[in-house]
Structure 1
């Protein structure tokens, strides 16, 4: 084999390029490995910073709890509930009840619709009743038939009282200073 100087030079340049390419690939892999280590270290730094923030918050909370406990002991004297303060059942709750004393207000009672539903309205709601006249809203808006006027004297008396009350409320009377 006859190697000429040009051929040797070509082989030399090819081997130099091959070595440079291999070194570039090795250097790229090394740079990527260092970048990965830097990224992992930054993640660990973020985790450590979050742990530090959590511990600072925990420390502040516990110090505030201690300050609140000291303030409670000094000012208020509140105590945590103990097991003896809880009620075991309905009987023990009923035993705590007392009869109403003299002058105590009456217990609140709720209305109960025991009347059957009227067929003419078809509604399950109770009819609205005027507190003054004692009549339903429908009866006040409709004129009463002539045959029913004389049948219910109590209702007629209530209607007269309501009209008189309306007249009294519509008039303004000035009270004198001597009265």
Structure 2
């Protein structure tokens, strides 16, 4: 048995529907691209509007500043008698500035002096360290601590060969407080 061939009208109908669907899809894509192009133009215009608004605000601020400067200079000139400095008003040195001063009055307080420390000469790599409380040098204090520690430390007294722990221990406790109270 032979199969039946579809009617000719149904094939044309299928081709018509496919063509209509293709046209609708092409129109949809074209319309989508057109809408996106217009959206990007709108964004560019919005950016330009924002930039122009910022520029306008900046120009308004500058205009107000210049107007207030003009007003301030007018007030300074009329009310206070101020003016811009002239070339002859600038001083060349500190001596010219000092010549403009007046002598100190009878009951005026003494001028404030600034303290300055003299540089300490260094004897070793770290310099000679002196305790501000006792006035003795660090080498003397370590030697005294070694003498106090005695022979039980395994070091010779008076040589200053004291470990860090012994030096720290010598600086704490009631004996150290007695040194500072003297």
Q: What is the TM-score when the length of structure 2 is the normalising length?
A: 0.54
From 39, 46, 49, the counterpart of 2:50 = 46
From 35, 38, 43, the counterpart of 1:34 = 38
Structure 1 segment 96-107 matched on structure 2, within 5 A: 96-98=97-99, 100=103, 103=106, 107=111
Cα deviation for residue 3 of structure 1 reads 7.8
Cα deviation for residue 51 of structure 1 reads 1.4
Aligned residues: 124
Q: Is the 8 A contact 1:113 1:126 kept in 2?
A: no
Aligned-pair RMSD on alpha carbons?
3.7
Cα shift readout 1:78-124 (whole Å, capped 9, x = no counterpart): 12222332233xxx43255359568476554445556x89xxx9447
Distance in 2 of aligned mates of 1:36 and 1:107: 72
Distance in 1 of aligned mates of 2:105 and 2:28: 102
Whether 2:84 is the aligned partner of 1:80: answer yes
Q: Is the 8 A contact 1:72 1:78 kept in 2?
A: yes
Q: Is the 8 A contact 2:76 2:82 kept in 1?
A: yes
Aligned to 1:58: 62
Aligned to 1:167: none
Cα deviation for residue 140 of structure 1 reads 10
Cα deviation for residue 74 of structure 1 reads 1.5
Structure 2 unaligned residues grouped into runs of 5+:
1-5, 122-127, 135-177
Q: What is the TM-score when the length of structure 1 is the normalising length?
A: 0.55
Alignment CA distance shift 1:124-1:109 (3 Å)? farther
Give every structure 1 segment of 4 or more consecutive aligned residues whose post-TM-superposition deviation is greater than 6 Å: none
Alignment CA distance shift 1:100-1:22 (3 Å)? same
Distance in 2 of aligned mates of 1:53 and 1:81: 33
